[in-house]
Amino acid sequence: MAQPPSVYEWIGGSAAVGRWLDCFYDAVERDDLLAPMFGGKVTREHRDGVTAWWSEVLGGPATYTAEHGGYPHMMSKHLGLNISAGQRLRFVTLLSQAADAADLPNDPEARSALMAYAEWGTRIAVENSAPGATPVAEAPVPRWGWGEAPPYDPS
């Protein structure tokens, strides 16, 4: 495999990302630590916005940048949320469990790429949400690849 496909293509494109995040936000709505942050209900609009974000991050089309306000919009949504360490850990745990529930490809390479971004992104969200935080105002949507473990190519 000269050039592996993007993580986005590998896991099944926006349909798979959307299926995964639907399972995730269904679990968030049932979760004692996280549901209150979303007013108990995660709207279709929110789910679609986050699906566009993750799709762009994982190598899909730049729809979040073009149609959802890009990085500044995402960052502004986390300002002042004051996300606790416990809430962050629960968020990451539900993302991992939802990947199983949504039947995403379960090869270690794809799952570690997803969870590496989840770990990184949630830690940034905690920092940006802290009282008095002044995150950078402009930045591109990050792009996330396979890291140290791309799909194995024996040739």
Stretch that binds ligand HEM, among 9-17, 76-84, 99-107, 145-153 (CB under 6 A): 76-84
* Among candidate residues 130, 34, 40, the one with its CA nearest the CA of residue 79: 130
Least distance from ligand HEM to the Cβ atom of residue 64, Å: 7
Structure-block tokens of residue 3: 């050039």
Name, in order, each residue with C-beta under 8 angstroms of 30's C-beta and a sequence gap of 6 or more. Answer: none
* Residue 36 DSSP symbol: G
Q: How far is 62 from 115, CA to CA, in rounded Å?
A: 21
Least distance from ligand HEM to the Cβ atom of residue 11, Å: 15
Least distance from ligand HEM to the Cβ atom of residue 103, Å: 21
**Contact set with ligand HEM (CB under 6 A):** 34, 37-38, 46, 49-50, 53, 68, 73-74, 77-78, 81, 83, 87-88, 91, 118, 121-122, 125
